[in-house]
Chains A and B, each alone.
Chain A
Amino acid sequence: MDYISITPAQKTSMLEAIGAETIDELFSPIPESCRFTGDLDLPPALAELDLQRELQKLAAENSAAANGACFIGAGAYDHFVPVFIDQFISRGEFLTAYTPYQAEASQGSLQAFFEFQTQVARLTGMDISNASLYEGASAVGEAAMLALNATGKRRVLVASTIHPDARATLKTQLEDLPAEFVLLPAGEDGRISPAVIAEHTDSDTACVIIASPNIYGLIEDWKTAFHAFQNAAGDVGNKPLNIAVFNPTACALLKNPGDCGADVAVGEGQPLGVPLQFGGPYLGLFAAKQKFLRKMPGRLVGQTSDGEGRRAFCLILQTREQHIRGARATSNICTNQGLLALRATMYMTALGPQGLRDVAEQSWHKAHYLAKRIAALPGYDLAFDGEFFNEFLVRCPVPASAIIDAGRAKSIHPGVDLSCEKVASIGAENQLLIAVTEKRTRAELDALVDLLVECAP
C-alpha cells in the first residue's frame, strides 16, 4: 500500500495537462548514467493485516522491561503514564501538524508550547525555557555551546558523574571546536567535591556541568559546588556559567536548579510521560536565566496579540535560528521534539503539582524502602552513603550480570550492570544500579530482595 489516490486514468490526463508523453519524461533531468533502472532489492509490499502480524511478531521478540518489574534506570525511567496522554497525543490535529511557522493556523500547538515553556521554567525554578531539544545528552552539549558563546572562554568542566552518554556526546561535540573538555573526577563518596571544582577552574573556564541526581543516583550539592566554582573563577568580566543537569521528577520534591543558583538547567524530559520505547524519541529540556534568552538554542514561543488585541502566540527570535542566521545561528537544530513536548505538558497538567509530588515522593519512599532491605542482606551493601533520590548503587557478592540473568525467568529486571558497555563500563562488575519508580509495588520490591537472596553464594 503506497497510500496514493491518483488513478492510472487520471495520470494520463495529468500528463496531458503538463504536455508530457510519459512519466519517464518528467525524470529526464536525471542524467542517464545516474538513473536506477532496476527494482530496489527490498521485501515486497505487505498489506496492513500482514504488516500487523509481522509487527506483533517483532514486538514479541522483546521481553520489554516495563511489562515486568522494571528496576532499570540510568537515564530512562519506567513511570506511570496516564492513558489520557496517549489518547490526546494521537489527535491528528497535533500528530500531523507541522512546525508552527504559520502562527494563525497553529494557535493550538503554539499555546501548548507556551504552556510547556512556563511549566518547565516553574518546575526548574528558572526564568525561561525553550520549546524542547532532541534529548538529554545533546541538551547538555547545547548548554556547553551557550556557555562558550556567552563567555568567549574555552574550558568546559564536566562532572565525571553525569550520564556517560551525555559525557560522550559532549566530548564528540567539543572535539573540533576551540574548546577544552575537562573531566572532574568523583570523590570516594561518588560525588564531585568543591575542592576538585576549584582546582580545575581557571580564567579561561566557560562553565561547570553537574548532574543531580548523578549517574549513581546520588544528590550532588549544586549550591555549594556552584559557589566554589564562582569563587575559584574570581571576579571576572564574563562570569562562567553554572550548568545544572536535572531530573524533572526530582524537581517536584527536591531543591531545583533555580534554588541552587544555576544559570542554565538541562535535562532528559523522558520521565514526563514519555514511554521507554528503547531510548527514543525523548525530549531535551533547556531552561535558563532571562539574560540568556537571545543565546538560547532551538525554538521559542512568545506571546503577542492580533489586530483586535486578542492574546495569541507565535515563534519568536527566529533570527537566532539556522533558517535565518545560517552559519551564525545559536545552534543547527531545526526539527525539535514537538510531540514529546506536548506529551510532557499534558503530563504535567494531568498530574498537577500534587500528582507530580506524589510520583516523586512515592519513588523516594519505595527506593529507600528497597535500599534499606538490600543493605540488610548478607553480602550486599550500598556503594555510597550519600543521599539519593530514586536510584542507588549496590555492591553485590556476585556479578551484577548474574543477578540480571536470574531475574529473567521471573520477569524481574533488577537494574543496570555498571560494568557493561551501555554505561561506558564506568563501574565494577559486581555493581548493580537499581532504580525505583512509583510504579513498583511492595510485592515487586520484596520479590527483588528475594531474588538477591537467591543469587548470593
Chain B
Amino acid sequence: MTTTTSTIKPVKIDMTTTDTTTSAVAPRTLGERPTEDLIFEKSSPGSRAVDLPPLDVDETPIPEAIAGAAPALPEVGAIQVTRHYTHLSQRNFSIDGEFYPLGSCTMKINPRINEYAASLPGFTGSHPMQQDEDVQGCLRLLYETRELLQEIAGLPEVSLQPAAGAHGEYTALKVIRAYYKDRGEHQRNKVLAPENAHGTNAASCTSCGAGAINIKAPGGYTDIDDLKRVIDAEGPESIMALMITNPNTAGLFDSKIDEIADIIHDAGAMVYLDGANMNAILGRTRPGDFGADAMHYNTHKTFSTPHGCGGPGSGPIAVRDFLAPYLPAPQVVKTSDGRYALDYDRPKSIGKVRSFVGQFGVLVRCWTYIRACGPEGLRNIAETSVLNANYLAARLAERFEMPYFDPAKGKYAAHEFVTVPRTLLDKGVTLNDIAKRLIDYDVHPPTMHWPVRDCLMVEPTETEDLATLDRFVDVMSMIADEIESDPDTLRRAPESAPVERLDIVAADRKPITVHPMD
C-alpha cells in the first residue's frame, strides 16, 4: 500500500502575526500519516466534474406540490474527484497488492479477462425486461452456467437467482420447506448445524422461520453421537435439514460425511451443504457424491469473481431433482427448438427472492473463469489450494499450535487451517496484536477468533506462488521473535498503515454514521 496521499497539509495561520504571506503548507515528515478529507469537505459551490448535453425538448413545469429541493451533496471539480478516489484506493489492502490469506474467504487472483467479459456492451446494455429473443446471449450464458455448476456439484438442478451465499442458504431452505409442506410435513421446521457453522446458517434459518439447533463439534468434526441425540430429543419428524460445511471451518474434510448424511436421510430430512469451501474439493469429490441434497456456491470465493470491498457476490444453489419444482421463478431453460427462455410457469415455485434474474454480471465472470480453467484446471485448483495450505501449516507448526492439523495421523488440512498460538499468546500479547503487526509486513491478517476463540484461520489459495508462501512463514517467525524480544512493537502495530489502531469501542458507543450538514 503506497501512501502518496497529499504531501502537503494545511496548517493554521496565526492571524495575530502581521505577515499574512506565510505559506500555509508544510512538508510531510517521514512517518507522518495524513488523513484524507471527506468529499464533503472538498466541496466548493459551483464546481462540477460532469455535464450533460443541453436539453433539446420543450420544458414542462414541475408542479410545486411535488417539487423538492436539490440534494445537499458535495460540489467538486474533475481533478478533485480523480484525486479523491485515487487517494482512497491507496488506503486499501487488496489481492492485487498484498497477500490476503483470509480463511473462509478464498482470496484468489481475480483474472482481468473476467472483467473484460462483464464489460462487453452486449452484456452491460441488456435490459432485464427485454424479450427473450433479444437477449439470447445472456440467456445462453446463464443456461450454460447452470450446466457447469450442476456438473461441478454432482446435482441435477441449479438456480442462479440468489445474490450471495447467505441469500442462497435462505433460498434453499425455503425450497426445502416448500417441498415438505407440499408433502404435508408442515412440522419439519428445525435445522441442525454444527457449532462451528458460519453465522449466516443460523440467521438464514431465522429468515425462513425455522429454528436453528447447534450440534457439538469437538475437534472440529460434527459429533455423530450428539447429532443422533438431538434428532431423538427433537423428534426425527420435526427435522428439516442439517446445514454442514465440508470441508468444515476447522479446515478439515469430515471423513464421516457419508455416515452423517445417512443419519439425516434416515430421519427423513435433507443435507444442506454450505459451499463456502468448494475450492478445496473441485473435481475430487462432489456434494452430490457425499449425500448433499442442496447446496450453495459462493462464486466470489470459488470462481474468482471479485470481492469488491464486500460485494457483489453471487450464491447459486444446486439441488436434487425432487426439489427442482420449488426453485425460484423464473428459471432459464433451453426450448425444444434450441432457443433459450425464461420459464415463469412454475406452479410449485417458492416465488421470487429478488428482482429480475440474478447477479448476471457476476455470473458472466463465473462462466468465464470455469471456461478458462476447464476440468483439469479446476482439479488442479483444488489440489494446489490444499497443497499450499498443508505446506504452510507444516512449516508454521513448530511455533504456532495447530489443534486440527496432524499429518502423522492423516489429519491433513483442506484448503485452510486453524492455528491457536497459545504459547505466544501466553507471553502477554493478544491475537489482535499479531494481526495488526502482519499489516506492517504487508500481509492482510487472516480470519480471527473464528471458528474458535484466539485462532487465526489461514487460507492461502492456489494462486499464491512459493516465494510468497515462504515469505509468510518468515514473517510469522519474525513476529514470533518479536513477541519474545519486543512485544511493545506488536502492541503499537500497525505502524505503516494510514492510521494507527482504531478505537472501535468508541465507534460503537457513540455511533456516527453520516457526516453532519454544515
Residue on A nearest B117 in the bound complex, by CB: A55
Residue on A nearest B450 in the bound complex, by CB: A323
Beyond A105-B1, A134-B164, whether A97 also contacts B309 by CB under 8 A is yes
B222: interface (CB < 8 Å): no
Q: Which of A132-186 contact B (CB under 8 A)?
A: 132, 134-138, 145, 163, 165-166, 168-169, 171-173, 175-178
Chain B residues with CB under 8 A of A410? none
Chain A residues with CB under 8 A of B353? 138, 169, 172-173
Chain B residues with CB under 8 A of A30? 253, 255, 281, 284-285, 290
Contact residue among B49, B55, B310, B450 (Cβ-Cβ distance under 8 Å from A338): B310
B135, A62: Cβ atoms under 8 Å? Answer: yes
A441: interface (CB < 8 Å): yes
Chain A residues with CB under 8 A of B414? 29
A115, B124: Cβ atoms under 8 Å? Answer: no
Contact residue among B111, B134, B391 (Cβ-Cβ distance under 8 Å from A65): B134
Residue on A nearest B247 in the bound complex, by CB: A29
A362: interface (CB < 8 Å): yes
Q: State how many angstroms separate the Cβ of A178 from the closest Cβ of chain B.
A: 7
Residue on B nearest A115 in the bound complex, by CB: B39
A349: interface (CB < 8 Å): yes
User: Which segment, of A4-12, A194-202, A203-211, A229-237, faces chain B?
Assistant: A4-12
Chain A residues with CB under 8 A of B313? 335
Contact residue among B51, B56, B63, B462 (Cβ-Cβ distance under 8 Å from A355): B51
Q: State how many angstroms separate the Cβ of A254 from the closest Cβ of chain B.
A: 5
B15: interface (CB < 8 Å): no
A94, B89: Cβ atoms under 8 Å? Answer: yes
B238: interface (CB < 8 Å): no
A65, B130: Cβ atoms under 8 Å? Answer: yes
Number of residue pairs A-B, CB distance < 8 angstroms: 716
Q: State how many angstroms separate the Cβ of A410 from the closest Cβ of chain B.
A: 13
Contact residue among A98, A251, A281, A420 (Cβ-Cβ distance under 8 Å from B105): A98
Residue on A nearest B49 in the bound complex, by CB: A350
Residue on B nearest A2 in the bound complex, by CB: B377
Most buried by B among A109, A281, A314, A356: A281
User: Which segment, of B22-30, B197-205, B317-325, B477-485, faces chain A?
Assistant: B197-205
Residue on B nearest A404 in the bound complex, by CB: B131
Q: Chain A: how many interface residues by the 8 Å CB criterion?
A: 205
B71, A123: Cβ atoms under 8 Å? Answer: yes
Contact residue among A55, A136, A278 (Cβ-Cβ distance under 8 Å from B138): A278
B14: interface (CB < 8 Å): no
A331: interface (CB < 8 Å): yes
B239: interface (CB < 8 Å): no
Interface size class of B (residues with CB under 8 A): 35 or more
B199, A364: Cβ atoms under 8 Å? Answer: no
Q: State how many angstroms separate the Cβ of B320 from the closest Cβ of chain A.
A: 16
B73: interface (CB < 8 Å): yes
A239: interface (CB < 8 Å): no
A122, B73: Cβ atoms under 8 Å? Answer: yes
Q: State how many angstroms separate the Cβ of B455 from the closest Cβ of chain A.
A: 15
Q: Which of A266-303 contact B (CB under 8 A)?
A: 268, 275-282, 293, 299-303
Residue on A nearest B128 in the bound complex, by CB: A279
Residue on A nearest B261 in the bound complex, by CB: A34
B233: interface (CB < 8 Å): no
Contact residue among B38, B89, B129 (Cβ-Cβ distance under 8 Å from A76): B129
Q: Which of A203-259 contact B (CB under 8 A)?
A: 219, 251-256, 259
Q: Which of B50-86 contact A (CB under 8 A)?
A: 50-52, 55-60, 62-63, 66-68, 70-76, 78, 81-82, 84-86
Chain A residues with CB under 8 A of B383? 23, 26-27
Q: State how many angstroms separate the Cβ of A34 from the closest Cβ of chain B.
A: 4
B410: interface (CB < 8 Å): yes
A456: interface (CB < 8 Å): no
- CA of A311 to CA of B289, assembled, Å: 52
B52, A359: Cβ atoms under 8 Å? Answer: yes
- CA of A65 to CA of B362, assembled, Å: 20
Chain A residues with CB under 8 A of B498? 104, 107
- CA of A338 to CA of B305, assembled, Å: 13
A448: interface (CB < 8 Å): no
Beyond A19-B408, A111-B38, A278-B128, whether A86 also contacts B119 by CB under 8 A is yes
Chain B residues with CB under 8 A of A177? 209
Contact with A along B241-270 (1 / 0, CB 8 A): 000000000001111111000000000000
- CA of A233 to CA of B117, assembled, Å: 52
A336: interface (CB < 8 Å): yes
B515, A115: Cβ atoms under 8 Å? Answer: yes
- CA of A20 to CA of B127, assembled, Å: 53
A187: interface (CB < 8 Å): no
Beyond A15-B387, A276-B124, A353-B75, whether A93 also contacts B356 by CB under 8 A is no
A409: interface (CB < 8 Å): no
Beyond A34-B257, A92-B94, whether A129 also contacts B74 by CB under 8 A is no
- CA of A28 to CA of B108, assembled, Å: 24
B289, A25: Cβ atoms under 8 Å? Answer: no
Residue on B nearest A441 in the bound complex, by CB: B56
Contact residue among A282, A324, A357, A369 (Cβ-Cβ distance under 8 Å from B70): A357
- CA of A119 to CA of B517, assembled, Å: 11
Contact with B along A418-441 (1 / 0, CB 8 A): 001111000000000000001001
9 nearest A-B pairs in the assembled complex, by CB-CB distance: A279-B356, A45-B374, A339-B308, A59-B122, A92-B96, A279-B128, A66-B125, A64-B125, A61-B137
Given A339-B306, A357-B71, A423-B129, 17 new contacts (CB under 8 A): A4-B462, A6-B466, A17-B394, A27-B383, A34-B258, A42-B370, A102-B445, A104-B498, A106-B93, A172-B353, A173-B207, A278-B138, A307-B501, A323-B198, A335-B164, A365-B59, A420-B131
Q: List 7 A-B contacts (CB under 8 A).
A: A23-B387, A43-B371, A56-B120, A61-B137, A92-B97, A96-B96, A219-B66
